[in-house]
Amino acid sequence: MKNENNSKKQILNSSSILGGVTVITIFIGLIKIKVLAELIGPSGIGMMGILTSIMTTLAVFFGMGLGNSGVRELASSRADVEQLELVRKALFLANLFLGCLAALIIYLLSEYLSNYFFSDESKKFEIIVIGIGTLFSLLSVSQSSLLQGLRKINHLAKVKLYGAVLSTIIGLIFILFYGDHGIVFLVVAPPIISFTIAFFYCLKLPKPSTKKINIHDLSNKWISMSKLGSSFMLAALTGHVCQLFVRYILNDKLSIQDVGYFQAAWQLSMIYLSVVLSAMVADYYPRLSENINDKGLTNKLVNEQTEVALMVSTPLIYIMLGFAPVIVNVLYSDSFSKSIDILQMQLLGDVFKIMVWPLGFLILAKGFGKTYFFSEQLWNISFPLIIFLGIEYVGVNITGYAFVLSYIFSLAGVYVICKKINNFSWSYGNKKSFITLLLGALFIWVVAQYSIFSAMFFTMFLAINSTIRAYKEIKIIYPNNKLERYFSRFFSRIKNR
């Protein structure tokens, strides 16, 4: 029990550091969203969504999955100084070469890409700038992967925080001065700023030796990383192509405004959930990779991470779901009312997504690249397919229904895979927490269809109840913690008075 609590402490420590930073970055992101909604409207938000999807898709394609395979190599090589140094240099040089190649190819194809996505050559300059953003995206991945593989959580948190602040300020300045023409600079600012800050923190790491590493060793390392990384790349690439294709369908079948409604809901769904999932990427994945040969321990880690993820996310999902109309109107504007139904359905889908993510990292840590690629296609194929088949009948709201159905398919498939490769099964507590969250979220959603105010009332009740239960769990893991002592003194003073 003591070891289990210590493991959960480590998860909570990472979650609290990155989660705390994420809360701040969310607040910054909400300010950015509000300003953008007022300055460029649904069509501008839609344009930003398309440009962002193009850049992330190209970054994934040219990145060859080296970021994911690099983290795994770094985590497993921490005890071997020579291997660690080899992986470190191989990761940076490969990303530098691939980034420059990406920028050159995108420049040569800029006219074609502009015609394909925007039906004319008017966005050729924006595409060229996206190429530069792709270069810095890959360079940023090389530095962030190094910090992540070495589990420098504090450094990662600072990169995330400072990057969010500076890129938001710089991006909004371009929007203020150049309007819609500044959108592309808002899109490329985050990878450029993140690389600069991450590079600074990587310089503080122990310096590699001056011993030269020959090209033969580097080539062998690139080949081994690429074999596993290619599967990661293909899986991630299909995901980004899927998102880009969805935005293309919406723009082609409906309008750029409908792309904006979808993008608005997507941003809100991704922003709040990043509080839960950011720690999973930074700390949980390297821990799994270090202990992947011990099935019992890895299954225990998956269940612990799922438990913490459910504990933290449950109140957030309830609040976001019940107060979705208020949140959309406050953070965007009345013109984004069509985003409300999409957001609520995506929140229901997030209940299943939270269960899928820890399992996906188990497949990654096992190094089963082909299996991981297959598991990712359960969502990547079903999501755009459902939208394509249903958009004529349901309109833009089909994106929300597709989100839920796709994650149900994904959860069922990934669980079967993890059961087979690692004999994994969820603990009784996780099953109970999942069913409780799902029923609570469905109840709020049904009530919201009839009365917004009733939904808000029940939301507050469920959110407070789940928060109290989460606090009791943390109290068990952290007995006599500072927060508990603070509240004890606070209520004692009230009682005495």
- Of the candidate ranges 13-22, 52-61, 62-71, the one whose mean pLDDT is the lowest: 13-22
Mean pLDDT of 205-215: 63
Q: How far apart are CA 279 and CA 140, in angstroms?
A: 18
Query: Which band of pLDDT confidence, cut at 50, 70 and 90, is reported for residue 486?
Result: very low
Task: Quick: pLDDT tens for 154-174.
Answer: 777 777 778 778 888 888 888
Q: How far apart are CA 250 and CA 256, in angstroms?
A: 7
Pick the most confident of 56-60, 117-121, 276-280, 343-347: 343-347
Give, in degrees to the nearest 5, the angle at Cα 41 between 236 and 245: 25
Tokens representing residue 384 in the block:
């755009």
State yes or no: pLDDT of 436 exceeds 60: yes
Exposed (0-12), middle (13-18) or buried (19+): which is 217, by Cβ within 10 Å? middle
> CA 203: distance to chain centroid?
26
Mean pLDDT of 97-125: 83
pLDDT for the residue numbered 81:
63
Mean pLDDT of 475-497: 51
Top pLDDT among 406 and 463 is at 406
Query: Which band of pLDDT confidence, cut at 50, 70 and 90, is reported for residue 104?
Result: very high
Tokens representing residue 365 in the block:
């840590």
Give, in degrees to the nearest 5, the angle at Cα 415 between 413 and 418: 110
Write the CA distances from 2 to 125, 161, 286, 290, 397, integer angstroms.
58, 33, 22, 21, 48
**Please, where are the H alpha helices in 332-451?**
339-366, 369-394, 398-422, 428-448
Query: Which band of pLDDT confidence, cut at 50, 70 and 90, is reported for residue 476?
Result: low
State yes or no: pLDDT of 17 exceeds 60: no
pLDDT for the residue numbered 405:
92
Top pLDDT among 89 and 406 is at 406
* Residue 493, phi-psi category: left (phi > 0), alpha (psi -120 to 50), beta (remainder): alpha
pLDDT for the residue numbered 494:
47
Residues with Cβ < 8 Å from 79, sequence gap 6 or more? none
